Structure 1
Amino acid sequence: MKTPIFLDVETAYDRWAASYDAYDNPMVYAATAALERHLERFAGQSVAELGCGTGRNLAALRRASAARLWGCDLSAGMLEKAKHAAPGATLVQHDITLPLRVETGHFDAALVSLAYEHVAKLDEPAAELARIVRPGGFALILEIHPFMTLSGVGAHFPDGDHDIHMPSYPHSFSDWLTAFRHAGLTVSGCTEWRGRDFGPDAPSKLRERYADTPFLVEWSVSR
């Protein structure tokens, strides 16, 4: 049995960066599959990804013909991977709980995938998300479902003889809706993804253990 270790978010993701994309992670699979159904919406758009990690989503947005890509992440290790995955994207090391160093209304669209799990309070990050997207623009948010977080499931990964854990915060649907309302964001869609929604090619853990359990929540919001 691996020994659990609890690290702060930045240190944990720096340590995870080398193996993140190779790790069999059903949550990442689910978020990637959900994003694929929206990629055409980003064609021709200038897009910011908050918490861009290794750049796998930025690479997908580039393949979908996004016009301009900008990404930020707290982890320097993750950003080093993103440089290779998404050449041409502007990458910045930044904590998404703090104001972003970009102009108001600078982007047509934004993406946040599996990053708000590590944010204790949603109000300020949601307000900043709304600020950087132009009026008429949109944002897609993909996040671990609160049912999962409340049951003790959160981001973690094996590292040698250790199992690395980091802070993870459950956000209820009322938390999300309140944050969106205060930020001036309008909810245009909400999907609760269950394991069986991802089809026969999904990891067996996702299909079997979480077949009928809300696993991932997807929010589409607009300015």
Structure 2
Amino acid sequence: MKPRIFLDVEAAYDRWADSYDALDNPMVYAATAALERQLERFAGKSVAELGCGTGRNLAALSRAGAAVLWGCDLSARMLEKANHAAPGATLVQHDITRPLPVETGRFDAALVSLAYEHVARLDEPAAELARILRPGGFALILEIHPFMTLSGKGAHFPDGDREIHMPSHPHSFSDWLTALRHADLTVTGCTEWRGRDFGPDAPPKLRERYADTPFLVEWVVSR
């Protein structure tokens, strides 16, 4: 077993940036596949991605016809990658646990993918997500399933002969529902993705180890 190194979220993602899109990461694969099934909803919309990482999702949203793209991320190195992946997007280095630097009701839609895992409390981020959406807007949230985080699983990656870990906070379904309700966000869809739901092209670890285990949770919420 590789020795574990624990870093804060910003330092970990700065180090992960160069290999993030190249690694065979089942969770990233699952979130990407789930997003692909929802992309047409973003066509013609002004869209914010909170925790945009390397910009892979922003690039997909652009290809799907999103009209305006804005993204933020804590990691400067991730944003360097995002600048190349989605050159038409406005990008800001920002911590999503703090008030977002955009006006109220600016966006038609928002995406949060594999970012709330690193947030200790969901209340304030959910309220900010609601604030930046116009009335009638929607958000897609893709996150590691509570079954995974509550059993001690969390984001990590290999770095040479070491394994890098970072803060990962488990959120139960009651945590999610309470935070979304307090933010006046209405849940219009909730899907629990299992390994076998992603078909034969999914990474073997996802198909075999987590075939019948809820692996990813997908929330669709409306303002």
| 2:31 corresponds to 1:31 | yes
Question: What's the counterpart of residue 41 of structure 2?
Answer: 41
Question: What's the counterpart of residue 62 of structure 1?
Answer: 62
Structure 1 residue 70, shift from structure 2 partner: 0.2
Q: What pairs with 1:10-159 in structure 2 (closer than 5 Å)?
A: 10-159=10-159
Q: What pairs with 1:183-198 in structure 2 (closer than 5 Å)?
A: 183-198=183-198
Q: Distance in 2 between matches of 1:154 and 1:123?
A: 20
- The count of corresponding residues between Structure 1 and Structure 2 is 223
Question: What's the counterpart of residue 221 of structure 1?
Answer: 221
Q: Distance in 2 between matches of 1:89 and 1:178?
A: 32
Structure 1 residue 135, shift from structure 2 partner: 0.3
Give the TM-score normalised by the residue count of structure 1: 1.00
Q: Distance in 1 between matches of 2:56 and 2:85?
A: 6
Q: Distance in 1 between matches of 2:82 and 2:154?
A: 23
Q: What pairs with 1:160-171 in structure 2 (closer than 5 Å)?
A: 160-171=160-171
Structure 1 residue 152, shift from structure 2 partner: 1.3
SS in 1 for 2:201: coil
Unaligned runs of 5+ in 2: none
Listed one character per residue, the Cα deviations across residues 173-192 of structure 1 (whole Å, up to 9, x for unaligned) are: 00000000000000000000
Q: Distance in 1 between matches of 2:196 and 2:86?
A: 31
Give the TM-score normalised by the residue count of structure 2: 1.00
Q: Distance in 2 between matches of 1:24 and 1:158?
A: 11
| Seq. identity, % | 88
Q: Distance in 2 between matches of 1:164 and 1:112?
A: 23
SS in 2 for 1:124: helix
Q: Distance in 1 between matches of 2:221 and 2:205?
A: 30
Structure 1 residue 150, shift from structure 2 partner: 1.1
Q: Kindly provide the amino acid, as one letter, of the partner of residue 88 in structure 1.
A: G
Q: Distance in 2 between matches of 1:152 and 1:64?
A: 35
Question: What's the counterpart of residue 8 of structure 2?
Answer: 8
SS in 1 for 2:21: helix
Listed one character per residue, the Cα deviations across residues 26-76 of structure 1 (whole Å, up to 9, x for unaligned) are: 000000000000000000000000000000000000000000000000000
Structure 1 residue 12, shift from structure 2 partner: 0.2
Q: Kindly provide the amino acid, as one letter, of the partner of residue 145 in structure 1.
A: H
Q: Which runs of 4+ in 1 moved over 6 A?
A: none
Q: Kindly provide the amino acid, as one letter, of the partner of residue 107 in structure 2.
A: F
SS in 2 for 1:206: helix
Q: Distance in 1 between matches of 2:197 and 2:69?
A: 29
Q: Distance in 2 between matches of 1:39 and 1:165?
A: 31
Question: What's the counterpart of residue 181 of structure 2?
Answer: 181
Q: Distance in 1 between matches of 2:2 and 2:176?
A: 34
Structure 1 residue 168, shift from structure 2 partner: 0.3
SS in 2 for 1:23: coil
Structure 1 residue 79, shift from structure 2 partner: 0.2
Structure 1 residue 13, shift from structure 2 partner: 0.1
